[in-house]
Amino acid sequence: MTMRPFNILNLILISSAFSLLEAKSSNLGTSSDKAHAPQLAQGGRLFKIHCATCHGSEGKGVVGIAPSILNKDFLALASDEFIYKTISKGRPGTAMVARPDLSADDIEAIITYLRNSTSLPPDRIRVDNTLVFSGDKENGKPLFSKFCSACHGPHGEGYMLGLPGTGIGLPGFLEIASDDYIFQTLKQGRLGTPMQPFLGSTGLANLGKQEVYDLIAYMRHLGETYEERMVNTPVGPGNSKAGEIHYNINCAACHQSSGRGLVGLAPAIRNPDFLAIASDDFIRQTIDQGRAGTGMMARPDLAPQVVNDIIAYLRKDTDKNQIVHVDPTKQLFGDAIAGGDKFTRYCASCHGAKGEGYSANMPGPGIGLASFLDAASDDYIYQTLKRGRNGTPMRSFLGASGLANLSDTDAADIITHLRELGEITEAPANTGASDFE
Ligand code: HEC
Ligand code: HEC
Ligand code: HEC
Ligand code: HEC
């Protein structure tokens, strides 16, 4: 038997397995304000559902995937507003996507949870967000190359390049991080992570104050020139090696390593039966627009090259001869009422009574949701029913070799019923408001 290397993917698997499968009692403080108890419990629940897949069930983070957020040094520096904005606006270009689907109350509950973990002392370091340091970006540039780029990337791209540090040159971070927040991070470091203190004689590099101001000026410059660099980067064909890195950072938390999916969480997207019928444009559209009402967030922030690379990785092992022509213009009309009965009989046990899917704790995806039905043509659904998805609970249902020996008429009836469902179901709207917006 050969041992598999213990790599980052295993860590993700373990952390997601912990967060999803193990209903661990939450790590809440006993000293916390009783009045906050329901909010605290709610925050813990939301953290496990929405955050633990990447940040780990203990919030310790995974180097190269997501930073530690139940971290004493981070929480000492980060204001509630900083955390609030990070969650609501996200960090474009990284897996930390904006979460407009979480209400202000939800986000505040998560912050309460983060602030009340027993292992953390209550002391906060005063960060003066009004301070603006005056530094010289030209002096900062060589310092950045020497001390920071090995972990954070030459332009502060961070995880994007498969590196251990976060995207400190990206606008999403720089817009909410004040000069003093960055200064204090360099002074403190982040206990338990590769981020060491750099300032002063006890720091890693004995940097002086002015040197840190210069570094900050250079980081601000990186943020301001980010768009320009992106626009000027030519888009080429996908590279599957780069795609694997982007996949592991952005997609594996849900679709799992090697894209094999997890029943009840996310479909298998490196599955040959899926790749045979999904065109590159279908995949591109799914990434760009997401599937409203599901865990599949829209990622318009991913650069076109990154998307090409991910698609190349997904298709790396597929045989071109297996690709099936799906006609997106073909329409199948059937009897919606008969289709409803057949759906209830053959599909609802996995996809939910109204095709709500995972959101209703079902093993299959939300095929009754408008967001899926907008992306999927009739022929795409028909071909799925015909072929099934080998290796997943989704079997072939059509014809003599299918699970239920359904006819083409049955398929048309079911598809017509699904189209009706798509018109009724709507993604939940976020109506919350907050002080920080
Ligand atoms: C799909 C993975 C993923 C999920 C899910 C996720 N995050 Fe993140 N998070 C990240 C990444 C990646 C970063 C760092 C981005 C960067 O490079 O700046 C991050 C950064 C953060 C930061 C900033 C930390 C710092 O050091 O500045 C906070 C706070 C945060 N996330 C909170 C949350 C919360 C709360 C949730 C749940 C609502 C959540 N995240 C869900 C991936 C994720
Ligand atoms: C040995 C690798 C390494 C080096 C070198 C390094 N960092 Fe970091 N840095 C990290 C990691 C890892 C994190 C995220 C820590 C966590 O998990 O919370 C981080 C976090 C940060 C953050 C906080 C980002 C946020 O999202 O809140 C800042 C700011 C930062 N680093 C700046 C710098 C600067 C400036 C330098 C150069 C002087 C530098 N780092 C050098 C690894 C490194
Ligand atoms: C937070 C979890 C999560 C992350 C992260 C995520 N997805 Fe998804 N993805 C889902 C879910 C859930 C669905 C199924 C949605 C539904 O019910 O229709 C899905 C569906 C898809 C589909 C359609 C599959 C099908 O069978 O039609 C594709 C393609 C896809 N995701 C690609 C990606 C890519 C590429 C990434 C990374 C850039 C990614 N996803 C990141 C949760 C996620
Ligand atoms: C035993 C459980 C089960 C049953 C019964 C079932 N499905 Fe599925 N179905 C799944 C799972 C699980 C997936 C996701 C497969 C994967 O991981 O890629 C899926 C995927 C699909 C997809 C692709 C969704 C996408 O995002 O691309 C369609 C369409 C679909 N099923 C339609 C149906 C219809 C119609 C029926 C009834 C005739 C049905 N299924 C019955 C479990 C089931």
Ligand 4 centroid to residue 281 C-alpha, Å:
21
**Alpha carbon nearest to ligand 3 atom 19, residue:** 296
Q: Which of 342, 346, 366, 363 is nearest to 354 (CA)?
A: 366
* Ligand nearest to the backbone CA of 97: 1
Ligand 2 centroid to residue 149 C-alpha, Å:
10
Q: CB of 255 closer than 6 A to ligand 1?
A: no
* Ligand nearest to the backbone CA of 349: 4
**Alpha carbon nearest to ligand 4 atom 33, residue:** 347
Looking up tokens 């949870």 gives 113
* Ligand nearest to the backbone CA of 390: 4
**Alpha carbon nearest to ligand 1 atom 23, residue:** 86
* Ligand nearest to the backbone CA of 103: 1
**Alpha carbon nearest to ligand 1 atom 42, residue:** 96
Q: CB of 204 closer than 6 A to ligand 2?
A: no
Tell me the residue type at 397.
F
Q: Specify the pLDDT at position 121.
A: 63
Ligand 3 centroid to residue 361 C-alpha, Å:
16
In order of their start, the domains of the chain are: 9-115 (1.10.760.10), 137-231 (1.10.760.10), 240-322 (1.10.760.10), 336-424 (1.10.760.10)
Pocket test for ligand 2, best of 91, 181, 195 (most atoms within 8 A of CB): 195
Pocket test for ligand 3, best of 19, 87, 255, 306 (most atoms within 8 A of CB): 255
- Residue 71 CA: nearest ligand 1 atom is 26
Q: Specify the pLDDT at position 29.
A: 35
308 touches 234 (CB < 8 A) = no
Q: CB of 275 closer than 6 A to ligand 4?
A: no
pLDDT-flagged residues of the chain (< 50): 1-33, 427-429
* Ligand nearest to the backbone CA of 94: 1
Ligand 4 centroid to residue 404 C-alpha, Å:
13
Spatial neighbors of 343 by CB under 8 A, at least 6 apart, are 355, 414, 417, 418
- Residue 264 CA: nearest ligand 4 atom is 12
**Alpha carbon nearest to ligand 1 atom 22, residue:** 86
Residues in the chain: 437
Ligand 2 centroid to residue 232 C-alpha, Å:
27
Q: CB of 268 closer than 6 A to ligand 4?
A: yes
- Residue 73 CA: nearest ligand 2 atom is 18
Task: Categorise residue 376: left if φ over 0, alpha if ψ from -120 to 50, beta otherwise.
Answer: beta
Q: Which of 106, 4, 96 is nearest to 433 (CA)?
A: 106
Q: Specify the pLDDT at position 241.
A: 94
Q: Specify the pLDDT at position 404.
A: 83
Ligand 2 centroid to residue 159 C-alpha, Å:
11
- Residue 314 CA: nearest ligand 3 atom is 35
User: For the whole model, what pTM was predicted?
Assistant: 0.82
